[in-house]
Amino acid sequence: MLLELPNHDINIDTVTIYKQLAKSNRALAELKGYSATIPNQYILINAMTLNEAKDSSAIEQIITTHDDLYQAMSKDKVRDAATKEVLNYRHALWEGYQYILKRDIITTALIEHIQRIIENSKTGIRKVPGTAIKNVTTDEIIYTPPQSELEIRDLLADLEQYINLDDGTDPLIKLALIHYQFEAIHPFYDGNGRSGRILNILYLVLMGLLESPVLYLSKYILRTKKEYYVLLRKIQQDSAYFEEWVVYILKRGRGNGKGNAKNYSFDYRGDGRVWASVKGKVAETIFEGAS
């Protein structure tokens, strides 16, 4: 099921949603304030985006370790495919963040650029019909996204307009609708989930809820992966589940608030190295141009 956005048929003005919304906005404000106290924002962003990239990729069964990532970052060539994909994700998130800083807008072209970096591919928007979402166990088709490139581009153009439209809806509630709509459009052959999760973070930066992409969103989805996909499938069949979906997305923001940045402390070395302590575990990380 695709949404018409803005959508006045979906009831998002419920007590349950607004109670959770207040908690989530408070948590994001705390994170924004706390992250501003970190003396070197470049290093904070690098550390946070690396973890976000790792867990977002893990949702798609692309598994790597922090050790592999840190070692790969100090080498010219990455041989391990999973590590390379995670670093591609991190690069895509950084590129998107720089785009927002310069242009203060999210566009279809930006989303396509992000997916190209993630997948290291130029296939872009789906052009050949036949894509369907299937139950991996039974092979049953559970959702069929739009098939023609023209329809997909029209839907992305509508989504772009909605993202950048100030219609009075709280940005966190809009985030839930934007995320669902992007997943329902399913514009690419691959990389939809990861592109969508980057879009989430960039939207929060665009709306001023974050100064930089330091919210660690994918950890919550990874931990509640079954619930996430069950809710997506429920909504595709019945819009009555939208309250449950919005609350789930709001909890994701709240559950990964100030604790994101508070897990990190940094020790700056004179040789250009930075030692990052994550929950008491020390790992050497090298960030070019961090000083």
List active site positions.
186
196 is annotated as contributing to ligand binding: yes
255 is annotated as contributing to ligand binding: no
Contact call for residues 57 and 190 (beta carbons, < 8 A): no
Helices then strands, each counted (H, E), the chain: 12, 5
191 is annotated as contributing to ligand binding: yes
**CB under 8 Å to 246, separation ≥6 — which residues?**
12, 17, 173, 176, 177
Task: Indicate the residue type of 69.
Answer: L
**CB under 8 Å to 272, separation ≥6 — which residues?**
286, 290, 291
190 is annotated as contributing to ligand binding: yes
CA–CA separation, 77 and 50 (whole Å):
18
What is the chain's alpha carbon radius of gyration, rounded to the nearest angstrom? Answer: 19
- Number of residues that make up the chain: 291
116: left (phi over 0), alpha (psi -120 to 50) or beta: alpha
162 is annotated as contributing to ligand binding: no
168 is annotated as contributing to ligand binding: no
**SS3 at position 131:** coil
289 is annotated as contributing to ligand binding: no
Strand partners, 5: none
Q: What is the DSSP string of 88-130?
A: HHHHHHHHHHHHHHHH----HHHHHHHHHHHHT----B--SS-
**What is the end-to-end Cα distance of the chain in Å, rounded?**
49
Contact call for residues 60 and 193 (beta carbons, < 8 A): yes
Contact call for residues 202 and 97 (beta carbons, < 8 A): yes
Q: Which residues are annotated as a binding site for ATP?
A: 190-197, 228-229
Q: Which residues are annotated as a binding site?
A: 190-197, 228-229
